[in-house]
Amino acid sequence: NAGVMQNPRHLVRRRGQEARLRCSPMKGHSHVYWYRQLPEEGLKFMVYLQKENIIDESGMPKERFSAEFPKEGPSILRIQQVVRGDSAAYFCASSPPSRPGANVLTFGAGSRLTVL
Amino acid sequence: DAKTTQPTSMDCAEGRAANLPCNHSTISGNEYVYWYRQIHSQGPQYIIHGLKNNETNEMASLIITEDRKSSTLILPHATLRDTAVYYCIVTGGTSYGKLTFGQGTILTVHP
């Protein structure tokens, strides 16, 4: 029973390139969340998705960042034209179909993006 | 979501109980207390949660005061692998995974 799978674990990009981070939720989980942890800072919520729907993207930067969770395949967090400030660990989490109080998330190991 | 206050760091001897406090004096009636931890360079890990009754699972116990303004996470027999940052999070029933992680408590377990 695999947990939340994220890849790549480490990604190096030069300024101006695109970064694509992938997340496969736990089996049976239909809700996906992305969090970002900047160096020496806490975890910050970015976006909450269900299949083919963005439910809450209040934590996403307004430009260059996008997320999707298609009907088939993993969730993708896409960062266009990366800048050095995007260097961070990006964590994906998943949860089963929601119910009130359902904040029991299973996190992946994270994808560490370094922008040169 | 209610704000939480935790000590910046704590130490514990291996094999002893680790008691991690959390203040959440502005908690409202429908808000739950959640605990997560993050071991260095890993993803956060869910530990336990509760509303008003004390809770216990295979990892820890959660003691919530009667007025619900504070709580304590208890690791009954701490091991070196419990060294981590522990986050106390208070959130309502409709927040659906949108968690606010503060600075947490750095717990160091010593041999």
Residue in chain A closest to B40 (alpha carbons) equals: A109
Which residue reads 């956060």 in tokens? B44
Of B43, B46, B51, the CB nearest to A110: B43
Question: Where does the pLDDT of residue A99 fall: very low under 50, low under 70, confident under 90, or very high at 90 and above?
Answer: low
Q: What is the pLDDT of residues A52-90, one digit of tens each?
A: 999 999 999 999 999 999 999 999 999 999 999 999 999
Residues of B with CB under 8 A from a CB of A: 32, 34, 38, 41-46, 49, 51, 89, 91, 93-104
Q: What do you get for the CA distance between the two ends of chain A, in Å?
A: 36
In chain A, helix, strand, coil percent, each to 5?
5, 50, 50
Question: What values do phi and psi take at A26, rounded to 5?
Answer: -60, 150
Mark yes or no for CB contact A103/B96 under 8 Å: yes
> What is the distance between the alpha carbons of residues B88 and B33, in angstroms, rounded to a whole number?
7
Helix (H) or strand (E) holding A75: strand A75-79
| Rounded Cα–Cα distance for residues A70 and A115 (Å) | 27
pLDDT in tens, B45-64: 999 999 998 999 999 999 99
Residues B72-82, mean pLDDT to the nearest whole number: 97
Q: B96 vs A105: CB contact, 8 Å cut-off?
A: no
